[in-house]
């Protein structure tokens, strides 16, 4: 059903979720966005530890061409703030990552994690209830046994749909450092969790044991030079995973090689361009996200200024590099001062791996069409939020005369950042998270 | 990179170092504890800035002090493509949890191997055993660590056994690696 991205793909506004007012409550800041494997469900996690799941509606009678209407399906508190008494440290309840499990039965399962603990949640529907108990009244009070004179079989009667979320597993106490990634294996039995220095392998059924598969902690912490920033399992090779580092390298590991995968099978690294060297070279080369393509042949990495596509068969350089916001290179010092240089942008592939997307500042997000060598900058804003309103491409003026409709670099709002984006696996529907709002866009079907 | 003098680089390095230090202090009170990744990146920036700062100062006023550090020429400061090694390997910190709070500590100088003295509980009036050199002069970009005096107040020497020496002037010689063992 995925329309080809030929010609000029246009995007329309579909919906926006979240509070309208400018005063953003910290707990409402969206920290992760993820479609499930069919795209029917869209999950968001926030800084307050809550998970909100939206479900795609089959048909909208008012706007039949709006195939991307998502409505709230379930909301639950996944994580609460905790306190580590031994270290006198507060553990934030912010949801760092949500990953869906492939559906096996009527219920849906997802993994959600904060800095220290991963939880497996079961989301199930209940649309029937039992009626006609012998021992209980309608309201649940127990009947006087002496008043019961006959016996009947309770029947199941329809009720309003209720969606329940229950924590089925809690995977705790396995990470000393802050968890940055969770990835479900293609075997559907195991998953990995990665923190700054270690990666652990879990079985989804077993919570009291995990296997450490990567450990880059040096014997002497003063010799620390790099940390793990992201990790992911290969989409169809259950023995393969990658992890990226703060030094801009990606290591591909094969779990068949040894129990501890400290020695990589492949090391992906691009030599630094010496003319770009500055105080901040290390920070901007740190990889904030790594994602395999759906076909498993490529992976994409995001660093502060660019998106790189790597062919898994070629380690010495990426096959494609896309500049997200190169105009920021001369502003790195200011971005360091206002902390923006530490922002961790994510990136994502579309369903057929022909287009990649990532966020930027001023509520801009960027799409790079690999096939047609085209890129576009779009904006998520309430000003462009009429139903099916087509988004106009945006342009940042990098110097010289500013044309009409262009925005100059100095006018960009660095508080409005899009860190999390997601693409429906089977359709041209995207979810883009601004600070506390979730925008859903769909492509304009031509003809 | 043309027409950038050693002076400009020095000023820039100074500013970045000051900003970095204030970020480091601020991160200690952050909810969720110190972030290892962020601390590492901060320390890398600080190390670059510190090395460039030293190199620039070297080129401005070469001092014939005991050469405990490699003498960088001013031209090298401008085209630094690699971070020079830290000049002295600090002793591993036994009490790692306190390392991050010892940013201004002068324990850096213990790398000469002497640990017989109780350097923590040293009165501020005691003569410091730090090596003299270009690095020991107070960097001018740092805020004063001493309390502002109200009119009529007097400064007095803290008794022995009080908090460790507040030695802001040794900030540039501190091992930035100390940030990390906080974990």
Look at residues A2, A14, A1, A66 and name the one whose alpha carbon lies nearest to residue A349.
Answer: A2
Residue percentage of chain A with pLDDT more than 90: 79
Nearest to B52 by CA among A281, A279, A247: A279
Cα B40 to Cα B105: distance, rounded to the nearest angstrom: 19
| Residue A380 clears pLDDT 80, i.e. is over it | yes
**Which residues in chain A are contacts of B27 at CB distance < 8 A?**
none
Q: What is the pLDDT of residue A421?
A: 98
Please give the residue that has the higher pLDDT: either A64 or A344. Answer: A344
| B81 in reach of chain A (CB within 8 A) | yes
User: What's chain B's average pLDDT?
Assistant: 58
> Who among B38, B90, B93 is closest to A342 (CB)?
B38
> Do the Cβ atoms of B23 and A339 come within 8 Å?
yes
Is the CB of A177 less than 8 angstroms away from the CB of B96? no
Q: Is the pLDDT higher at A400 or at B163? A: A400
A277 vs B49, B81, B183: nearest CB: B81
Task: Check A222 against B93: CB less than 8 A apart.
Answer: yes
Asked whether the predicted pLDDT for residue B93 surpasses 70, the reply is: no
Is some CB atom of chain B closer than 8 A to the CB atom of A231? no
Say yes or no for a CB contact (<8 Å) between A221 and B181.
Answer: yes
> Is the pLDDT score of B105 beyond 60?
no
Phi first, then psi: give them for residue A374, nearest 5 degrees.
-125, 150
Give residue A387's pLDDT band: very low, low, confident or very high (50, 70, 90): confident
Distance (Å) from the alpha carbon of B153 to chain A's nearest alpha carbon: 36
Residues 6+ away with beta carbon under 8 Å from B7: B56, B60
Confidence of residue B79 (pLDDT cuts 50, 70, 90): very low
* Residue A138: predicted pLDDT: 79
CA distance B157 to chain A (A): 32
CA distances from A358 to A173, A294, A319, A421 (A): 33, 17, 18, 7
**Would the pLDDT of B11 be above 90?**
no
Query: How high is the pLDDT of residue B145?
Result: 56
Chain B residue nearest residue A332, CA to CA: B16
Query: Is pLDDT above 70 for B161?
Result: no
- End-to-end CA separation in angstroms for chain B: 38
Inform me whether the pLDDT recorded for A243 exceeds 80: yes
Tell me whether B18 touches chain A (CB under 8 Å).
Answer: no
Q: What is the CA radius of gyration of chain B?
A: 17
pLDDT at A435: 96
Closest chain A residue to the Cα of B27, Cα to Cα: A339
Minimal Cα distance from A82: which residue of B? B32
**Average pLDDT rounded to a whole number, residues A163-183:** 97
Does residue A83 surpass a pLDDT of 80? Answer: yes
Cβ–Cβ below 8 Å for A282 and B41: yes
Of the candidates A269, A331, A279, the one whose C-alpha atom is nearest the C-alpha of residue A301 is A269
Q: Are B100 and B174 in contact (CB under 8 A)?
A: no
SS (H, E, C) chain A: CCCCCCCCCCEEEEEEECCCCCCCCHHHCEEEEEECCCCCEEEEEECCCEEEEEEECCCCCCCCCCCCCEEEEEEEECCCCEEECCCCEEECCCCCEEEECCCCCCCEEEEEECCCCEEEEEEEEEEEEEECCCCECCCCCECCHHHCCCCCCCEEEEEEEEEEEEEEEEECCCCCCCCCEEEECCCCCEEEEECCCEEEEEECCCCCCCEEEEECCCCCHHHCCCCEEEEEECCCCCCEEEEEECCCCEEEEECCCCCCCCCCCEEECCCCCHHHCCCCHHHHHCCCEEEECCCCCEEEEECCCEEEEEECCCCCCCCEEEECCHHHHHHHHHHHHCCHHHCCCCEEECCCCCEEEEECECCEEEEEECCCCEEEEEECCHHHCCCCCECCCCEEECCCCCCCCEEEHHHCCCCCECCEEEECCCCCEEEEECCCCEEEEEECCCC
Optimal mutation site among B19, B36, B81, B107, interface A, most CBs of chain A within 10 A: B36
Please state, rounded to an integer, the average pLDDT across all residues of chain A: 93
Residues of B in contact with A89 (CB under 8 A): 32-33
pLDDT of A52 higher than 60: yes
Q: How far apart are CA A425 and CA B107, in angstroms?
A: 56
With beta carbons less than 8 A apart as the criterion, state whether A75 and A50 touch. yes
> At B53, is the pLDDT very low, low, confident or very high (cuts 50, 70, 90)?
confident
pLDDT band at B162 (very low <50, low <70, confident <90, very high): very low
Report chain A's terminal Cα–Cα distance, integer Å: 15
**Is the CB of B174 inside 8 Å of chain A's CB atoms?**
no
List, edge to edge, every strand of the sheet that includes A190-194: A181-184, A190-194, A198-203, A211-215
- Closest-CA distance of chain B to residue A216, Å: 13
The predicted structure's pLDDT at residue A218: 96
Q: Please check whether residue A340 touches B, CB under 8 A.
A: no
Answer yes or no: is pLDDT of A340 > 70.
yes
Nearest to A222 among B12, B45, B90 (CB): B90
Q: Does the beta carbon of B4 lie under 8 angstroms from any beta carbon of chain A?
A: no
Q: Mark yes or no for CB contact B32/A178 under 8 Å.
A: yes
Question: How high is the pLDDT of residue B146?
Answer: 58
- How far CA B162 is from CA of A227, B77, B115, B144, in Å, comes to 37, 41, 19, 20
Tell me the whole-structure pTM to 2 decimals.
Answer: 0.79
CB A47 within 8 A of CB A29: yes
| Per-residue pLDDT, A156 | 94
Q: Grade residue A398 by pLDDT with cuts at 50, 70 and 90.
A: confident
Q: How confident is the model at residue B140 (pLDDT cuts 50, 70, 90)?
A: low
The residue among A111, A250, A85 whose CA lies nearest residue A179 is A111
Please tell me the distance from the alpha carbon of residue A203 to that of residue A191, in angstroms, as a whole number: 7
Residue A399 pLDDT = 77
Average pLDDT of span B91-105: 35
Q: What is the mean pLDDT of residues B134-163?
A: 54
Residue A276 sits at φ, ψ, to 5 deg, of: -95, 5
For residues B102 and A174, what is the distance between their CA atoms, to the nearest angstrom? 29
Q: Are B46 and B83 in contact (CB under 8 A)?
A: no
Residue B152 has pLDDT above 70, yes or no: no
* Residue corresponding to tokens 């601020």: B26
Q: Is the pLDDT of residue A350 over 80?
A: yes
Is the pLDDT higher at A184 or at B60?
Answer: A184
* Chain B contact probe: residue of A90, A221, A243, A331 with most B CBs at under 10 A: A221
Q: Quick check: B99 pLDDT over 50? A: no
Residue A61 near residue A109, CB atoms below 8 Å: no
- Closest of B55, B27, B54, B30 to residue B174, by C-alpha: B54
Q: How far apart are CA A36 and CA A184, in angstroms?
A: 12
Sign of CA dihedral A61, A62, A65, A69: negative
Q: Out of A84-93, A178-187, A235-244, which region has the weakest mean confidence (pLDDT)?
A: A84-93
Nearest to A305 by CA among A325, A279, A335: A325
Residue B111 has pLDDT above 50, yes or no: no
Q: Which residues of B touch A221 (CB under 8 A)?
A: 96, 177, 180-181, 183
């Amino acid at each position: 059903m995925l329309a080809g991205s030929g010609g000029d793909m246009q995007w329309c506004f579909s919906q926006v979720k979240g509070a309208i007012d400018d005063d953003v409550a910290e707990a409402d800041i969206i920290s992760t966005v993820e479609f499930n494997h069919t795209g029917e469900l869209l999950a968001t996690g926030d800084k307050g530890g809550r998970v909100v799941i939206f479900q795609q509606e089959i048909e909208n009678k008012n706007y039949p061409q709006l195939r991307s209407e998502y409505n709230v399906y379930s909301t639950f508190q996944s994580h609460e703030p905790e306190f580590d008494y031994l270290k006198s440290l507060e553990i934030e309840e912010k949801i760092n990552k949500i990953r869906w499990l492939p559906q096996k039965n009527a219920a849906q399962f997802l993994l959600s994690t904060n800095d220290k603990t991963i939880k497996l949640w079961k989301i199930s529907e209940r649309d029937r209830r039992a009626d006609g108990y012998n021992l209980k009244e309608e309201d649940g009070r127990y009947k006087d046994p002496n008043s019961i004179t006959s016996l009947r079989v309770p029947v199941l009667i329809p009720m309003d749909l209720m969606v329940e979320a229950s924590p089925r597993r809690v995977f705790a106490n396995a990470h000393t450092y802050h968890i940055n990634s969770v990835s479900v294996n293609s075997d559907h039995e195991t998953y990995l969790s990665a923190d700054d220095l270690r990666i652990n392998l879990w079985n989804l059924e077993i919570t009291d044991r995990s296997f450490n598969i990567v450990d880059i902690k040096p014997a002497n912490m003063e010799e620390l030079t790099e940390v793990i920033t992201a990790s992911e399992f290969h989409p169809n090779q259950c023995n393969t995973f990658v992890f990226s580092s703060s030094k801009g390298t990606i290591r591909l590991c094969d779990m068949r090689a040894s129990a501890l995968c400290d020695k990589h099978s492949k090391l992906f690294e691009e030599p630094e361009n010496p003319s770009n060297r500055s105080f901040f070279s290390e920070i901007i080369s740190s990889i904030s996200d790594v994602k395999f393509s759906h076909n498993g042949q490529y992976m994409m990495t995001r660093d502060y200024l660019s998106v790189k596509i790597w062919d898994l068969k070629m380690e010495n350089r990426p096959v494609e590099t896309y500049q997200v916001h190169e105009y920021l290179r001369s502003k790195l010092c200011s971005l360091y001062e206002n902390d923006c240089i530490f922002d961790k942008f994510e990136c994502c592939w579309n369903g057929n791996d022909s287009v990649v997307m990532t966020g930027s500042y001023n509520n801009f997000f960027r799409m790079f069409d690999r096939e047609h060598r085209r890129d576009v900058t779009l904006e998520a804003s309430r000003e462009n939020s009429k139903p099916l309103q087509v988004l106009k491409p945006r342009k940042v003026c990098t110097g010289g005369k500013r044309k009409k409709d262009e925005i100059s670099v100095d006018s960009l709002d660095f508080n409005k950042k899009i860190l999390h984006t997601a693409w429906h696996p089977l359709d041209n529907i995207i979810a883009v998270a601004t600070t506390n709002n979730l925008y859903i866009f769909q492509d304009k079907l031509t003809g | 990179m043309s027409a950038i003098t050693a002076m400009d680089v020095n000023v820039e390095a100074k500013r970045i170092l000051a900003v970095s230090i204030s970020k480091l202090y601020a991160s200690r009170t952050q909810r969720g504890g110190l972030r290892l990744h962020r601390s590492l990146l901060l320390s890398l920036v600080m190390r670059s800035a510190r090395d460039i700062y030293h190199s620039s100062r070297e080129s401005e006023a070469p001092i014939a002090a005991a050469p405990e550090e490699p003498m960088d020429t001013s031209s090298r400061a401008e085209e630094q493509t690699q971070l020079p090694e830290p000049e002295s390997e600090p002793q591993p910190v036994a009490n790692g949890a306190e390392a991050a709070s010892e940013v201004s500590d002068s324990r850096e100088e213990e790398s000469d191997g002497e640990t017989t003295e109780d350097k923590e509980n040293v009165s501020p009036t005691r003569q410091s055993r730090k090596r003299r050199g270009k690095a020991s002069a107070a960097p001018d970009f740092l805020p004063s660590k001493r309390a502002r005096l109200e009119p009529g107040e007097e400064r007095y020497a803290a008794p022995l056994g009080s908090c460790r020496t507040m030695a802001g002037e040794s900030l540039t010689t501190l091992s930035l690696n100390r940030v990390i063992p906080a974990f």
